[in-house]
Amino acid sequence: MKTHRAACLLIFMLGVFQNTFAQSGRIEAPRFAVKWSPAHLVYFFPSLQVAAEVKVWKNVTVQYDAGWVFNFRNYDSDDYSNRQGFRGIGEVRYYLPQSPSKIPFYLAGEFYYARITFDRSKVAGFGCSSGDCDYFQYVQYRVVHHNEGGGLKVGILLFPGWNYNQKFFFDLNLGVAYRNITYTDVGLPVGEGDVKYFSNDTDHLFAPRENDRAEFRPVIGLRVGYRVF
């Protein structure tokens, strides 16, 4: 009787071991996957951002990320209205062969480019060289914002159901980037010292700094992905 129980227990353990071994295969980087970035929806300049990743060589993939900036009406103001634009990110990834079997790690280099425009309105005083302005006018003009540069990142792919479903995953990364940032006013009236502009009495807690500059900054990304094959 004891021998029979021991045999049954051995068969059960062998079955568990075999099932575990069968499920412990390495998860490779996708040969083709599509992705979406929900975080871009809450940017100050929100965009619908989608991406496609394609394997081009052993452990090497390329990813192109494109997004269209759209305007949330409830964010409209005299400073930022009718927001439009485009964001694009080109990326080359190298997946590390030494990664854990279930969690692919990668190193990536990227090039980032964004062109965003918005309308701005303010009050302008004309003929102000003597101190008092001759007259005032409500003016509207366009602001063109460019943001471009490169970056280096490290990231991972997380498959929540790695033993049962290797289609859906999360793509997380962080790194450092170099950005060249400019803002250009288009159609703003100018004068030889006799035009005075009055700022709008509005407060935008998360508004960007609108000075031309070049800077290094940290970057972090989160995308929801689906492995096509």
Overall number of domains in the chain: 1
Percent of the chain with pLDDT over 90: 63
Is residue 66 situated within a structural domain?
Answer: yes
DSSP-assigned letters across all residues of 115-177:
EEEEEEEEEEEES-TTSS-SEEEEEEEEEEEEEEEEEEEEEEEE-TTTTT--SEEEEEEEEEE
Among 52-56, 98-102, 143-147, 195-199, the minimum mean pLDDT is found in 195-199
Please, what's the largest Cα pairwise distance for the chain? 111
Count CA atoms within 13 Å of residue 173 on its CB side: 25
Burial of 83: CB neighbours in 10 Å, binned 0-12, 13-18, 19+: buried
Beta bridge partners of 227: 33
User: Tens digit of pLDDT for each residue in 150-208?
Assistant: 999 999 999 998 778 789 999 999 999 999 999 999 988 776 567 888 776 666 777 89
Cα four-point dihedral sign 75, 78, 81, 85: negative
Is residue 12 situated within a structural domain?
Answer: no
Separation between Cα atoms, residue 179 and residue 174, nearest integer Å: 15
Is residue 192 situated within a structural domain?
Answer: yes
Helix residue ranges, H only, the chain:
2-23
Is residue 5 situated within a structural domain?
Answer: no
Average pLDDT for the chain = 86
Burial of 108: CB neighbours in 10 Å, binned 0-12, 13-18, 19+: buried
Give the pLDDT of residue 14. Answer: 38
What is the value of pTM for the model shown?
0.82
Q: Between vectors from CA 171 to CA 166 and to CA 175, what angle results, nearest 5°?
A: 150
The identity of residue 15, as a single letter, is G
Query: The domain spanning residue 54 has which CATH number?
Result: 2.40.160
Domain that holds residue 212: 30-227
Chain-centre distance for alpha carbon 150: 13
Give the pLDDT of residue 86. Answer: 98
Q: Cβ distance 133 to 127 under 8 Å?
A: yes
C-alpha distances out from residue 228 to 83, 156, 225, Å = 33, 18, 9
Is residue 186 situated within a structural domain?
Answer: yes
Is residue 131 situated within a structural domain?
Answer: yes
User: Tens digit of pLDDT for each residue in 81-95?
Assistant: 999 999 999 999 999
Chain-centre distance for alpha carbon 181: 16
Is residue 171 situated within a structural domain?
Answer: yes
